[in-house]
Amino acid sequence: MKGKLKILFLCTGNSCRSQMAEGWTHHLKSKTIEPYSAGIIANGLNPHAVTVMKETGIDISLYSSKIVESLIDIPFDQVITVCNLAKESCPVFPKKIKITHVSFDDPPSLAKSAKSEEEALSHFRRVRDQIRAFIEKLPLE
């Protein structure tokens, strides 16, 4: 292997799903993968995402929400879109890159109808755990 794979996790606002994917990848795959995350827009880091990741011992509180254009010069080996809008809006990169799509539910949208804080967090926890299961299978062939 010629060094770590550079993988970009891309979602709509880089506030939750892509941030959790980056955190899990740092935690589980740091010897083989150099992860990044970005969004089509930058919505800021979601505090519930920080909370549920901290429950697993992973601190993403210092991560920042950024737009994909700010990372366009990084020679990524793979881009993984984690929501449908990101898949539809995925930019063209300077070199040919493997693009993979996996759609995770949007916890902030689901949490809007929650009747309690605990119910809202349960949406974030479910998606967090689904993202972990996906990250455990990286790198994809």
Q: List, run by run, the mean pLDDT of 10-residue segments along the chain (141 residues).
A: 87 95 97 96 95 98 94 91 74 76 93 94 98 93 60
Tokens of 79: 């881009």
Domain at 5-135: CATH architecture: 3-Layer(aba) Sandwich (3.40)
SS3 126: helix
Given this model, what pLDDT does residue 91 score? 65
Cβ-based burial of 11 (10 A; exposed 0-12, middle 13-18, buried ≥19): buried
Catalytic pick among 5, 7, 8, 11: 11
pLDDT at 89: 65
Choose the catalytic residue: 21, 53, 83, 135: 83
Q: Of these residues, 42, 67, 72, 90, which one is catalytic? A: 90
Residue 11 bears catalytic tag: yes
**90 carries an active-site annotation:** yes
Catalytic residue check, 83: yes
pTM, 2 dp:
0.93
